[in-house]
Amino acid sequence: MSDLRIRPLRAFSRTPFRAPRRPAPEPAELQIRDTAPKPKGHSVVDSAIYCDGRRVASPESLAETYRVLHKAPQSLAWIGLYRPDRRELASLAQEFDLHELAIEDANEAHQRPKLERYGDTLFVVLKAARYRDATEEVEFGEVHVFVGPDFVVTVRHAEAPNLAAVRRRVERDPELLNRGTEAVLYAIMDKVVDGYAPVVAGLENDIDEIETEVFRGDPKVSRRIYELSREVIEFQRATRPLVGMLEALRGGFEKYGVDEELQRSLRDVADHVTEVVEKVDGFRELLRDILTVNATLVAQQQNEEMKSLAIASSEQNEEVKRISAWAAILFAPTLIGTVYGMNFDNMPELHWQYGYPFAIALMALVCGGLHQIFKRRGWL
C-alpha cells in the first residue's frame, strides 16, 4: 500500500486513452458487432471492444479479443471471466503482461480486499456481499480486476457482484466510458459498495430481532448472536480495507490531474464506504453488548431457577420432617400394641386387672411425649 501512495492510480484523463501502441485499425472490421450467445460452460462471460465510449465489437474468444484489440490502437477491451482455468489466465498474463503474483491470486481466489500496482497495471480485489432474506444470512462474493492502459479484465468466482449490470450502466453512458479504463474500475467499485446497503439493512433488522429474543428469554438466541457476530466480522473484513484503497486512489487526484467528475464520484464512493464501515463497527459493538446482556439475563434466570429449586427442596424437607414425625408418633402405639398382642401365658401384666388401661395410657404418654419433642424442634 505504501507503493500505491507513491504511485497512485493514473489520471482519469479526458483524452480517452494513451498514445497508440498498435497498428491502425481496419474500420470495417471494427464495426462488426457480434451479439451471439456464448457457449455453455465458457468462462468468458462477456468480451467487448469499445471505441469512443461505444461498443464496436463483441469477440467470442480471448484470441479474437486480442486480434481485434491489436487492430484498434485507441480502443478499450473489457473481458469478463467467470471461474477461468489456469490456461486462460496464463493467456491473459502473456498478452497483457500481468504479474504472476496477481495471476496466482486471481486463480486461487479467497483473497482479502486489496489494491496493488504492477508497472502500468492495477490489480484490485473486491469483496461483494448480498443479504439472503430466506435464510437471513450474508453471502459473500469476490471479484478480481486488472486495469491496464487499454484493457480491463474482471475475474469472478461467485455470482456476486452482477457485473452485467455495471457493463450496461457504462454502455449507457459513453461519456463515462470514454474517460478510460479507470472509469470502469470506478463503476465496479460503486456497484460493490452500493450492494452493501441492503446487507447493512438486513443485519440491522437481524440485530433488532435478536434484541427482542434476548429479553423474551429465548434459549436459542446465544447461538444466533454468535452466528451473526461471525457474519458481521466477515463483512467488516470485506469493507474496512476499502477505506485505505480509496484513500490511495484519491491521493493521486492532484498529481495526475484526475477528471473532476470522476474525483467527485470516487469521493462519493469513499463516503459511502466510510458510512458502511462505521455502521458495521457499531454492529459489532452492539452485538458484544447484547451478548453481555444475554449472559447477565441467563445468569439471573439460572439464579432464579436455583432459588426456586432451593425453596422447593426446603419445602420438601419440611414435608419429610412432618411425615417422619407422625410416622414415629404412630409407630410407638403400634409397637406397644404389637408386644401386648402376642398373648403369651407368661407375659407380665397379661392377667392384671389394670393391664388394658395401663397399655392405653402408656401409648398416649409415649405419643404425647414424641409430639412435644418434634414440635419443639419445628418438625410439626
Q: Which fold has domain 2-299?
A: Beta Polymerase; domain 2 (3.30.460)
State the pLDDT at residue 349. Answer: 67
Query: Can you tell me which residue has the cell 454492529?
Result: 283
What's the pLDDT tens digit per position in 300-345? 777 777 887 777 777 787 778 778 878 777 777 777 777 766 666 6
What's the pLDDT tens digit per position in 124-174? 999 999 988 888 888 898 999 999 888 999 999 888 788 999 999 999 988
Rounded alpha-carbon distances, angstroms, from residue 327 to 119, 316, 334:
98, 16, 10
What's the CA gap between 60 and 48, in Å, rounded?
9
What's the CA gap between 124 and 147, in Å, rounded?
8
Tell me the pTM: 0.70
Q: Which fold has domain 316-376?
A: Methane Monooxygenase Hydroxylase; Chain G, domain 1 (1.20.58)
> Is pLDDT of 12 > 80?
no
Please list, in sequence order, all residues whose beta carbon lies within 8 angstroms of the beta carbon of residue 90, skipping any fewer than 6 positions away.
Answer: 103
Confidence tier at 368 by pLDDT (50, 70, 90): confident
Residue 29 CB coordination number (10 Å)? 13
What is the domain partition of the chain in residue ranges? Answer: 2-299, 316-376
Please list, in sequence order, all residues whose beta carbon lies within 8 angstroms of the beta carbon of residue 220, skipping any fewer than 6 positions away.
Answer: 213
